[in-house]
Amino acid sequence: MELRKQQDPNIAHEIPDEWFTPKNKDERAAEAVVRPSLSYWKDAWRRLLKNKLAMAGSLFLVLLAIMAIIGPMISPHGVSQGNLVNQNLPPSSEYWFGTDELGRDIFARTWYGARISLFVGIVAALIDFIIGVIYGGVSGYKGGRTDHLMMRFIEVLYGLPYLLVVILISVVMGPGLFTIIFALSVTGWVGMARIVRGQVLQLKNHEFVLASKTFGTKTPRIIRKNLLPNTMGPIIVQMTLTVPSAIFAEAFLSFLGLGIQPPLASWGSMANDGLSSILSGHWWRLFFPALFISLTMFSFNVLGDGLRDALDPRLRG
């Protein structure tokens, strides 16, 4: 008991008498400490900026995109223009990344490959997004029997081995860029549709949506303030992670000879061409396409991870 501070009249009297006056109401309200609340997007942005790996990934992707546009132009050699005299030259000031067995400039071909990879990745992600949002949105919004049937169909598609289907379609339609994108889109949207449906179901009758309605909040505001932050997060992340898997699929098909056809270049077909160079020691023919596929996929993956961490409202701290 002795440990506890008793009200000691002597100490208490050190508190001046004039403090014993009623407190003004307004003054009291002002004293309530209010922590500055960050908006959802600002907060997410702040978290993303703090993620060094994700930032490094984005920087690489920006540089890659710039080089994909201007790279083939600043190279003095054409993409498919070969010169057998210059075959299998190591990297030099003339050919920065060396040449391949047909004397083509690997520097120019690498940036052309970047165009193909980025194009395939982004277009595939966009198509997945469009189909997925429509399919998943309708399924989740309609609910009931429609939802049940639509989900059964997705289950069947989900059971299909994705790359096998892509290979089959490529065989049937003949190789090419359009084929690859088409083949990737046939099964690729399933994941997105599932996510969208889940989000829609969850949000449709969610309490905070209902609460906003009850308070008479206008519809666009509900969408912007409540639905978007909660729905867009997983969708953005899914899109970001679709890109590397599409880039991989393109490279994989091209590596098997089912993708981009010569004389055009894709990282996958360049790696396939470079395969024979393993034994001959022309390492640069394999190294550059391999390096750029890996770096690009790595960048998209870390960016996707960073976005997931940044956009997950449950992780807000």
Partner 1 sequence: MEKTLEVKDLHVAFSTYGGEIKAVRGVSFDLYKGETLAIVGESGCGKSVTSQSIMRLIPSPPGKITNGSVLFKGRDLTKVKESEMRELRGADISMIFQDPMTALNPTITVGEQIIEAIIQHEGISRKNAKEQALDMLKLVGIPNPKERLKHYPHQFSGGMRQRIMIAMALVCEPEVLIADEPTTALDVTIQAQILDLFKEIQVKTGVSIILITHDLGVVAQVADRVAVMYAGKIVEAGTRREIFYSPQHPYTKGLLNSVPRLDLEDDELIPIMGSPPDLFAPPAGCPFTARCEHAMEVCSRAYPFQTRLTEEHHVECWLQDERAKALLAR
Partner 2 sequence: MAKYILKRLIAMVITLWFIITLTFFLMHSIPGSPFNEERATSEAVQENLEKFYQLDQPLIVQYGNYLKSVVTFDFGPSIKKSSQTVNEMLGRGFPISFELGIITLIVAVISGITLGVIAALRHNGFIDYLAMTIAVLGISIPNFVLATMLIQQLAVNFPIFPVATWSSTMHMVLPTFALATGPMAIIARLTRSSMLEVLTQDYIRTAKAKGLSPVKIIFKHALRNALLPVVTILGSLAASILTGTFVIEKIFAIPGMGKYFVESINQRDYPVIMGTTVFYSSILIIMLFLVDIAYGILDPRIKLHKKEGI
Q: Which residues bind partner 1 (CB under 8 A)?
A: 3-8, 11-12, 15, 17-23, 28-29, 31-35, 317
Give residue 257's region: left, alpha or beta (phi > 0; psi -120 to 50): left
Count of residues touching partner 2 (by CB under 8 A): 39
- Given candidates 225, 257, 261, 312, which one binds partner 2 under the rule CB under 8 A? 257
Asked if 56 touches partner 2 (CB under 8 A), the answer is no
Which tokens belong to 43? Answer: 């907060």
Q: Specify which residues 61 forms β-bridges with.
A: none
**Which CA distances in Å does 106 have to 37, 79, 94, 111, 265?**
52, 8, 11, 9, 9
84 binds, among partner 2, partner 1, none (CB under 5 to 8 A by kind): none
Closer to partner 1 by CB, 24 or 93: give it: 24
Binding mask 14-53 for partner 2 (x = CB under 8 A): ---------------------------------------x
151 binds, among partner 2, partner 1, none (CB under 5 to 8 A by kind): none
Distance in Å, CB of 161 to partner 2, minimum: 4
171 binds, among partner 2, partner 1, none (CB under 5 to 8 A by kind): partner 2
Neighbouring CB atoms inside 10 A of 295's CB total: 14
Find where tokens 């008793």 sit. 6
94 binds, among partner 2, partner 1, none (CB under 5 to 8 A by kind): none
228 binds, among partner 1, partner 2, none (CB under 5 to 8 A by kind): none
Note whether 192 and 136 are within 8 A (CB): yes
28 binds, among partner 2, partner 1, none (CB under 5 to 8 A by kind): partner 1
Note whether 236 and 312 are within 8 A (CB): no
235 three-state secondary structure: helix
83 three-state secondary structure: coil
Closer to partner 2 by CB, 66 or 275: give it: 275
Asked if residue 76 has a cis previous peptide bond (ω within 30° of 0), the answer is no
Closer to partner 2 by CB, 232 or 290: give it: 290
Find where tokens 């395969």 sit. 275
Asked if 279 touches partner 2 (CB under 8 A), the answer is yes
DSSP string, 104-166: -BHHHHHHHHHHHHHHHHHHHHHHHHHHHHHHHHHHHHH-HHHHHHHHHHHHHHHHS-HHHHH
Closer to partner 1 by CB, 8 or 73: give it: 8
The residues that touch partner 2, with contacts defined as CB under 8 A, are 53, 155-156, 159-165, 167-169, 171-172, 244, 248, 251-252, 255-258, 271, 274-275, 278-279, 283, 286, 290, 293-295, 297-298, 301-302, 305
